[in-house]
Amino acid sequence: MKRIVRGILIGGLVTVLASIPVLAVYYVYLEVTESNGTSYTNLPLFTGMNVTYLVDNAYIAANGTDTRVTNTEYSSLPHMLADDRLLWVGDVAGNDKTQFIFWTGQEPVSQFPIIMGYGGYVTVSDNPLLEPGDVYMFEFIGYLDMSAGSGKSLIWKAGAISFNRTGTDELTYSVVGGYSLVASSVASGDHTVIVYSDGTDMWITVDGTLKDTIATSSVPDTDDDWVLFQNNIAPYVYYFDEWIVVM
């Protein structure tokens, strides 16, 4: 799997303002300047950070899970660390400066989300072992941005399947040349979305609630790569899985 992280600052700038030790806890203010006059909700952001240095010098744990990013009201925000950068998701005001805070010395979290970055996505190379056929399951856990926008896609494989935002608070899972499932009343927010097919029927659930069901359509086997989380439909993802039965 290759993760592609693209530019995130949207005409703005992230500035590290100060690093202040408090007992064994360090914190640093991060200032985001937005200059295009657009406000964003759950905008993926990043700033360069020598995370390897922080680990090597025992400022943070080896896995970095004892860190947090908060807003100035101290609400924890989704974040993740790479060797050379810090990524997080937060609200940004248009034509203004918005501050966030990076903290060390915190109670460890169990996991980091995957943060693609604004305009980012994930590609998975075509592999015969990933072809769904008739019996399969897709599961997504994370934030869905269901606001208006074109091409917002959780899953896309040319000639095989698409799983897109298709209208106001609406997701549609479609098998090329076959049937479709529609999940309505899915507002922006954290969700668990699962598509099942048992070879006879396929159905979709959102947060454990059945949204639609129809007869199974066999997914065509194509040579195209999988493309996940396109066009900012998922600012952060905690879990994604494909389960298939190989005949």
Longest dimension (CA), the chain: 62
- Helix (H) / strand (E) element for 57: namely none
Q: What is the pLDDT of residue 246?
A: 72
CATH architecture of 2-103: Sandwich (2.60)
Q: What is the pLDDT of residue 25?
A: 85
Query: How far is residue 26's CA from residue 104's CA, in Å, rounded to a whole number?
Result: 5
Mean pLDDT over the full length of the chain: 90
For the domain made up of 121-244, give the CATH fold: Jelly Rolls (2.60.120)
Q: What is the pLDDT of residue 145?
A: 96
By the 8 A CB rule, do 222 and 142 touch?
A: no
Beta strands in 120-235 (DSSP E): 121-124, 135-144, 153-157, 161-167, 170-175, 180-183, 189-198, 201-206, 209-215, 226-230
Q: What is the pLDDT of residue 245?
A: 84
Q: pLDDT per residue over 206-242, tens digit each? A: 999 999 999 999 999 999 999 999 999 999 999 999 9
Q: What is the pLDDT of residue 10?
A: 35
By the 8 A CB rule, do 110 and 141 touch?
A: no
Closest CA to 142 of 150, 154, 125, 132: 154
How many C-beta atoms lie closer than 10 Å to residue 134's C-beta?
16
By the 8 A CB rule, do 63 and 73 touch?
A: no
**Domain extent listing, the chain:** 2-103, 121-244
Name residues of the chain where pLDDT drops below 50: 1-20, 22-23
- Helix (H) / strand (E) element for 82: namely strand 79-82
Q: What is the pLDDT of residue 81?
A: 95
How many C-beta atoms lie closer than 10 Å to residue 24's C-beta?
9
| End-to-end Cα, the chain, rounded Å | 24
How many C-beta atoms lie closer than 10 Å to residue 55's C-beta?
16
Q: What is the pLDDT of residue 4?
A: 32
Query: How far is residue 88's CA from residue 107's CA, in Å, rounded to a whole number?
Result: 18
